[in-house]
């Protein structure tokens, strides 16, 4: 057969885990044989075969599919062939976008072989393609419901249906839905509980584990999988989660998280009342009495609130060099508080990552407040303070007085028309005119007084103490450089001039 070099073909093959239920008919090998035979029979020039094995059709986040699109944009391909429409996608909206818009816009002919769809031919099968896409979408939705129901049933029975087990456990080699203790990892879990029961705070436990270079969860799992050991360190959050995990008592706790829908892979946390708990499903690492005692002690722990002082700039400081937050250490016996880059604090063993950014907090706070006041003085203080919900309502008063003056002048004009129309006497007009003119003069004097007061805002601002609420409305964040220089980033564009 003569090769048609003008038809540069891409064969696209997809198989998800759910499609395994259909056996050989949907297999990668079966799709490859069917489609390559068809391409040869048609005399097409095969450019490449793109295979996404184990990827769902409910979205387009697939590596081979993305590579194919890139090759289309580069002009390498002008024909895409799949076994059927569902291999391209089970999302009917996305399928329509590609088949009816994206492919034609890029000069691509699409063929779904067993569905007899060919966009280069005016066929009734092409007309019903949208309906087939909807049916494929409905199938995916129905399948998702069935899988969720099956998983929930297994969860209710206390069977493990999660992915990677928590530190201290591994999947039973004889039963994938049962957990058994990993002896090496369980020793770390026991030690964390022991340290806590013996009076160590979470932050102290973190430091002990890091100082002793105790491997983290990810380091141990990577080591078991033969992967290169990656640098890691213990965090307070990880330790707290271990101390709160009821699974270590032998109870199965599942359905803590779920996906938004069968199309969107985003994970959300479920409220506690939706958790599925089944007691005594596997061997415990921590006895129930110890676990209950730990839960009683946890609320008494004070992590961030251990700082006796509430700092005005807390939560606003960022490292200008690495982009992470900058914390404020509690005041020492000498009364001084210092700043520190949180990323440096976690990885201080590698000073190439960042520096400490350890500066006197009070000096920074003083400098920031002086900077803010200086910038406010360059603008209309009344306008700015009105934006941050303070009691400075000068502009409102001026606008109100100006509206009243406008209304009075309109009344005077109307009265003049009434006078020349002989609706009111000239004597009455003169008497009312004098009164209204006096009202206008008084209101104009009030406006002048307010404006004069506005000019005295330099003194007001120097004596004004910015509170936390006003500061949060004014300032977006404060960046501290390694040399001590400070950049104040405001929430209002008008103020971002430093």
Average pLDDT for runs of 10 along the chain of length 498:
69 77 64 91 92 87 93 94 89 82 92 88 65 63 70 82 86 89 92 90 90 85 54 82 92 80 67 86 92 83 53 86 85 85 75 80 88 69 48 66 85 80 80 82 84 57 63 83 87 50
Q: How far is CA 360 from CA 253, 332, 338, 373, 462, in A?
A: 46, 12, 5, 21, 23
The pLDDT assigned to 496 comes to 45
The pLDDT assigned to 474 comes to 78
The pLDDT assigned to 410 comes to 85
CATH 3.40.50.1390 range(s) for the chain read 4-140
Q: Which of 368, 303, 354, 362 is nearest to 332 (CA)?
A: 362
The pLDDT assigned to 390 comes to 41
CATH class of domain segment(s) 169-300: alpha beta
Q: How far is CA 100 from CA 12, 91, 106, 178, 480, in A?
A: 18, 14, 11, 48, 52
Output Rg (C-alpha) for the chain, integer angstroms.
36
CATH 3.90.1750.20 range(s) for the chain read 169-300
Task: Answer whether 441's CB lies under 8 Å from 381's CB.
Answer: no
> Alpha helices, DSSP H only, in 157-182?
none
CATH classification of 4-140, choosing from 3.40.50.1390, 3.40.718.10, 1.10.1760.20, 3.40.50.970?
3.40.50.1390
The pLDDT assigned to 143 comes to 66
The pLDDT assigned to 249 comes to 92
C-alpha 463, offset from chain centre? 40
The pLDDT assigned to 498 comes to 36
Q: Which of 25, 29, 36 is nearest to 86 (CA)?
A: 25
Q: Which residues, at least 6 apart from 244, have a Cβ–Cβ distance to it below 8 Å? A: 295, 298
Q: Which of 58, 60, 66 is nearest to 260 (CA)?
A: 58
């Amino acid at each position: 057969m003569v090769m048609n070099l003008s038809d540069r073909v891409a064969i696209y093959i997809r198989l998800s885990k759910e499609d395994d239920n259909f056996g050989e008919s949907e297999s990668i090998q079966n799709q490859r044989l069917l489609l390559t035979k068809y391409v040869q029979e048609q005399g097409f020039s095969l450019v490449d075969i793109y295979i996404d094995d184990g990827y769902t059709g409910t979205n387009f986040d697939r590596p081979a599919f993305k590579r194919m699109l890139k090759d289309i944009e580069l002009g390498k391909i002008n024909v895409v062939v799949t076994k059927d429409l569902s291999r391209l996608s089970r999302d009917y909206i996305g399928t329509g976008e590609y088949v009816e818009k994206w492919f034609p816009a890029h000069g691509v002919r699409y063929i779904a072989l067993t569905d007899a769809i060919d966009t280069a031919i005016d066929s009734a099968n092409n007309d019903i393609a949208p309906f087939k896409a909807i049916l494929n979408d409905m199938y995916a939705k129905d399948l998702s419901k069935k899988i969720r129901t099956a998983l929930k049933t297994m969860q209710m029975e206390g069977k493990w249906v999660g992915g990677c087990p928590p530190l201290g456990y591994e999947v039973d080699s004889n039963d994938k839905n049962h957990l058994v203790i990993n002896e090496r990892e369980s020793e770390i879990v026991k030690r964390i509980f022991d340290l806590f029961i013996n009076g160590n705070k979470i932050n102290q436990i973190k430091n002990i584990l890091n100082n002793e270079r105790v491997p983290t969860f990810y380091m141990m799992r990577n080591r078991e999988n033969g992967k290169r050991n990656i640098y890691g360190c213990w965090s307070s959050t990880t330790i707290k989660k271990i101390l709160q995990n009821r699974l270590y008592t032998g109870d199965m706790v599942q359905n803590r998280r779920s996906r938004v829908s069968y199309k969107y892979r985003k994970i959300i946390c479920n409220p506690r009342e939706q958790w599925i708990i089944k007691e005594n499903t596997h061997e415990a690492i921590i006895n129930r009495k110890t676990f209950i005692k730990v839960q009683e002690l946890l609320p008494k722990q004070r992590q961030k609130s251990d700082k006796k002082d509430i700092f005005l700039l807390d939560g606003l400081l960022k490292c200008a060099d690495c982009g992470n937050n900058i914390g404020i250490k509690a005041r020492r016996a000498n009364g001084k508080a210092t700043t520190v880059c949180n990323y440096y604090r976690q990885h201080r063993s590698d000073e190439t990552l960042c520096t400490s950014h350890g500066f006197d907090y009070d000096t920074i706070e003083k400098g920031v407040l002086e900077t803010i006041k200086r910038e406010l003085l360059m603008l209309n203080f009344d306008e700015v303070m009105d934006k941050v919900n303070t009691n400075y309502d000068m502009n409102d008063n001026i606008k109100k007085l100006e509206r009243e003056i406008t209304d009075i002048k309109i009344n005077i004009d109307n009265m003049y028309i009434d006078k020349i129309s002989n609706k009111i006497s000239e004597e009455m007009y003169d008497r009312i005119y004098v009164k209204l003119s006096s009202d206008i003069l008084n209101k104009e004097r009030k406006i002048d007084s307010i404006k004069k007061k506005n000019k005295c805002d330099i003194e007001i601002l120097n004596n004004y103490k910015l509170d936390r609420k006003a500061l949060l409305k004014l300032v977006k964040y404060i960046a501290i450089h390694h040399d001590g220089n400070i950049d104040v980033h405001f929430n209002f564009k008008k103020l971002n001039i430093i």
